[in-house]
Amino acid sequence: HAKEAERGGFRFFAPEMNAQALDRFALENDLRHALAEGQLFLAYQPQVEVAGGRVVGVEALVRWQHPEKGLISPARFIPVAEESGLILSLGDWVLREATRQAAAWQAQGMALRIAVNLSALQFRQSQLPTQVHSALEEAGLEPRWLELEITESTLMDNTEQAISHLWELSDMGVQLAIDDFGTGYSSLAYLKRFPLQRLKIDQAFVRDLSSDANDAAIVTAIVGLARSLGMQVTAEGVETAEQLAYLVDLACDEYQGYYCSRPVPAAEIAEVVARQATLLEA
Ligand code: C2E
Ligand code: MG
Ligand code: MG
Ligand code: MG
């Protein structure tokens, strides 16, 4: 194709570009209907205490079961949802569904913190605190059980509104976490200045933790930073016993990763919680 384009100057019609643009357009259209038609669902990944292995929370991760294309990864459709603004209604649905599920678990005697990802666009909406409040009310969930995950760039979006959202949510009793920490640019002054409870270390630094001295140094530094700022720290993407052993040595607070469990449907969470509890007794 590249050759054709060079010879004939058909750059406009580069087939792979057309296909990509069409695909993106179709995806956006389909996503518009996906919510109404109930094609979205939430998977939940356990958040586990490093010391002892108890499951203390779950992160809600959105999934899309497309009628023809099958399961589509959020890495693919979240950017489309963000660019089209659809993330606002999608995000609202996630918030309501996740808090409802967390309240249902509590009613069954499973006290789990629920973590929900917020996109930068959601954070820029003036009604965000009201929306969070109403989701909690409707679900009948106490705010302290909800943790909102934002990225470093959302945190650094230095608008008065973003800053007042942080305080309003925190005053409400909601927890705030910085997701994918270490991959973006955030000022240490911000970490100190705002009411943040948790840093989540990006999986890129955890992957080679037990073999790469640089990654080990970075993870050690982030755990120390969180500790000295009075924040909790979670390692993402833990897949092996070696990685976990390292986190035990560092006294990292919590971890998430395939080593404990992949994100699973709500109905499977009780099983993971019970299995981890028997590890504790052993
Ligand atoms: P994230 O919030 O950083 O979520 C962690 C991602 O790492 C999840 O990917 C999870 O499945 C994956 N993961 C967990 N443990 C392991 C592991 O041990 N190894 C590896 N290789 N991966 C692991 P997922 O579910 O595909 O989500 C990707 C991203 O999409 C999320 O990253 C988040 O940024 C975004 N996302 C997912 N759900 C939502 C949502 O409801 N709203 C918004 N705004 N974004 C969402
Ligand atoms: Mg997250
Ligand atoms: Mg992350
Ligand atoms: Mg991420």
Q: Give yes or no for residue 258 CB within 6 A of ligand 1.
A: yes
Its pTM surpasses 0.90:
yes
Q: Please report the atom of ligand 1 found closest to the CA of residue 202.
A: 3
Residue 167 near ligand 1, beta carbon < 6 Å: no
The count of other CB atoms within 10 Å of the CB of residue 76 is: 13
Determine the Cα–Cα distance for residues 178 and 196; give it in Å rounded to an integer: 8
Cβ–ligand 1 contact at 61 (below 6 Å): yes
Burial label, 249 (beta-carbon count in 10 A; 0-12, 13-18, 19+): exposed
The CA 145 to ligand 3 mean position distance, Å, reads 19
Ligand 1 neighbour 119 (Cβ under 6 A): yes
pLDDT digits (tens, 9 = 90+) for 108-148: 999 999 999 999 999 999 999 999 999 999 999 999 999 99
Q: Which of 64, 151, 153, 236 to mutate to test the pocket of ligand 1 (most atoms within 8 A of CB)?
A: 236
DSSP assignment letter at 62: E
Residue 139: per-residue pLDDT: 98
Q: Which amino acid is at 237?
A: G
User: Where are the strands (E) in 130-261, listed by range?
Assistant: 146-151, 175-181, 198-201, 232-235, 254-255
d(Cα 202, Cα 188) in Å, to the nearest integer?
Answer: 17
Ligand nearest to the CA of 182: 3
Q: Which ligand is nearest to the CA of 263?
A: 1
ipTM for this model: 0.98
Which pLDDT score, from 0 to 100, does residue 236 have?
Answer: 98
Indicate if ligand 1 lies below 6 Å from the C-beta of 179. Answer: yes
Would the pLDDT of 36 be above 90? no
Q: What local confidence, expressed as pLDDT, does residue 2 receive?
A: 43
Residues 68-86 have a mean pLDDT of: 94
- Whether 71 lines ligand 1, by a CB cut-off of 6 Å, is no
Q: Is 74 in the pocket of ligand 1 (CB under 6 A)?
A: yes
Report which listed range, 2-16, 35-49, 178-192, is most confident.
35-49
Average pLDDT for 30-34: 94
Q: What is the pLDDT of residue 12?
A: 54
Q: Which ligand is closest in space to the CA of residue 86?
A: 1
Task: Specify the ligand 1 atom closest to the Cα of 42.
Answer: 41
Spatial CA neighbour of 59 closest among 90, 97, 98, 111: 98
